[in-house]
């Protein structure tokens, strides 16, 4: 039994050494959550502008005009992908050989990025997408599909349809940072794929706090103001 246990531990150590280690509590730098096009996070195309179809760009302007009441995130819905990663709230990453788990402070959101090669659950819409992942060396690559159309990409009205497809790359660039990259495509809304990049920074000793909602006098739901510690 002892020999078998040592063999299992050794094989686990080899597996872990061959991949990355993203475990910990992290929070994004910058202000991508406000407006992707003004935050300097869009790296492709070089213009930093999202390649919208003309009719979609009109809808973005309409969304922006009514963003205070129309933004799904502001009304306590899950933020979606990739928006959840760029919010000014912490997230925690946990790993084992079967999957990578991401738990977000915002709206009690979580994701399971399966590593076992299973296919997507096509036909089932997910607010946070359906994630399948694999390691490319020390980089975790996640293929995210089967979205609903009920989230925005930021607080400025940038949006997507249920044809959204996201490929994420998480690369540990130092003990304190992860480079997060997302390639986004949606043929209904965009004329071409585009890419954003943000830095996740380790939050030493931090824990996730609860994010709660309240209902105002008009029956609308809003996030309760976060504690100072969560910012």
Domains of the chain: 20-230 (2.40.128.20)
What is the residue-averaged pLDDT of the chain? 89
pLDDT of 6 higher than 60: no
DSSP character at residue 225: P
Under the banding of pLDDT at 50, 70 and 90, the label for residue 153 is very high
70-95 pLDDT, tens digit each = 999 988 899 999 999 999 999 999 99
Higher pLDDT, 8 or 40: 40
Task: For residue 144, give the 3-state DSSP assignment.
Answer: strand
Residues 6 or more apart from 180 whose CB is under 8 A from it? 28, 82, 85, 168, 169, 170, 197, 198, 199, 200
- Inform me whether the pLDDT recorded for 7 exceeds 50: no
Confidence of residue 224 (pLDDT cuts 50, 70, 90): low
| Separation of first and last alpha carbons in the chain | 48
Q: What is the pLDDT of residue 187?
A: 98
**Residue 60 pLDDT exceeds 60:** yes
Rounded to the nearest 5 degrees, what angle is found at the Cα of 142, between the Cα atoms of 140 and 147? 160
Q: Give the model confidence (pLDDT) of 165-210 as tens digits.
A: 999 999 999 999 999 999 999 999 999 999 999 999 999 999 999 8
């Amino acid at each position: 039994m002892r020999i078998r246990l040592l063999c299992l531990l050794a094989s686990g150590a080899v597996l872990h050494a061959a991949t990355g280690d993203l475990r910990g509590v992290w929070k994004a730098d910058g202000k991508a959550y406000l407006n992707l096009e003004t935050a300097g996070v869009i790296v492709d195309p070089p213009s930093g502008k999202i390649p919208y179809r003309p009719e979609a760009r009109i809808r973005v302007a309409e969304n922006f005009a009514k963003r205070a009441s129309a933004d799904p995130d502001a009304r306590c819905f899950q933020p979606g992908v990739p928006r959840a990663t760029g919010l000014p709230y912490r997230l925690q990453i946990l790993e084992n050989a079967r999957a990578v788990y991401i738990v977000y402070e915002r709206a009690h959101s979580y994701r399971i990025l399966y590593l076992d090669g299973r296919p997507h659950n096509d036909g089932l819409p997910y607010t946070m997408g359906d994630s399948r992942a694999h390691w490319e060396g020390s980089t975790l690559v996640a293929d995210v599909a089967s979205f609903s159309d009920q989230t925005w990409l930021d607080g400025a009205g940038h949006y997507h349809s249920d044809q959204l497809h996201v490929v994420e790359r998480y690369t540990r660039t130092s003990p304190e940072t992860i480079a997060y990259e997302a390639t986004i495509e949606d043929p209904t809304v965009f004329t071409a794929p585009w890419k954003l990049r943000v830095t996740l920074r380790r939050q030493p000793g931090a824990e996730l706090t609860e994010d709660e909602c309240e209902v105002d006098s008009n029956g609308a739901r809003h996030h309760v103001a976060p504690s100072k510690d969560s910012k």
